[in-house]
Structure 1
Amino acid sequence: MKSVLLFLAMIGGQTTIPVSERVPQLNVEATCRATVATDKAMGLDLPQTYDDCMRDENSALQQLNSVWLTNSDSLRNRCEGEATAGGSDSYVDLLTCMQMADWVKSTPDAPKLRGASKNRNKL
């Protein structure tokens, strides 16, 4: 009985982490199985193996764990939606979405192009 009470006390003492503050759990196994089946059906010369697919997904998950909280809630939600669209869950897609958003933020505004404007010489 003491061990049960101790266990319950330990569980109750833990802080919970809101879902939005951790990388979502995605069913990448199903996505990898589907990818392998599609590659095989298409007769690709270099089809992706299930192990390679899972290695890529797990690598992306590790990277996401280190950058997840550095992004806004709205970006995390948008990228999660894109990474799970159509039932193909992918940490690779989720990471790519976040990396692209970082790239857009870091790219300076492009200079205004003047081209062959009729008003070019009037400036």
Structure 2
Amino acid sequence: MSQSLYITAVLVSLLASASQLSAATDAVPKFDIERNCRSELSGGSGIGETMASCKADEERAGDELTPRWSVFSRADKKVCIQETQIDGSPSYVELLTCLEMTPSGRTKSQGPVD
């Protein structure tokens, strides 16, 4: 493969990824709760957690994200979506936590964050 063809292929791939991520920030992403909970429980990070409690936590976080989604900035959503997908098992709990720590996730009533 010639160098220019390779560079073109890489650029097309990057643009496609950026476009998909941009579209993903328009609505709460769809995560596989079952898969995430299996991963959490098999990794030992959910000490004392059951599949039922993990799924309930994920569903609650997803339900909380939906009405608040428009409050968060597009840039913050993009960063947090990428962050929660790093390990291959994205989580609504992680996404909500990440977004709540961003500038757009804080409200005036919460005051400044140290």
TM-score range, shorter-chain basis? 0.5 to 0.7
Query: For 1:32, which of 29, 33, 37 is the aligned residue?
Result: 37
Which of the pair has more CA radius of gyration? 1
* Distance of 1:70 and 1:94 partners within structure 2: 14
5+ residue gaps in structure 2? 1-22
TM-score (structure 1 length as normaliser) = 0.62
* Distance of 1:53 and 1:25 partners within structure 2: 16
In the alignment, what sits opposite 2:27?
22
5+ residue gaps in structure 1? 1-17, 111-123
In the alignment, what sits opposite 2:64?
63
Residue pairs, 1:80-91, within 5 angstroms = 80-91=81-92
In the alignment, what sits opposite 2:55?
54
Matched residue count = 88
8 A contact 1:35–1:48 mirrored in 2: no
TM-score (structure 2 length as normaliser) = 0.66
* Distance of 1:104 and 1:70 partners within structure 2: 10
RMSD: 2.5
* Distance of 2:88 and 2:107 partners within structure 1: 27
Q: Aligned partner of 2:67: which letter? A: S
Identity, in percent, stands at 30
* Distance of 2:63 and 2:106 partners within structure 1: 20
Q: Aligned partner of 1:65: which letter? A: T
Residue 107 (str. 1) matches residue 112 (str. 2): yes
| Cα shift at 1:71 | 1.1
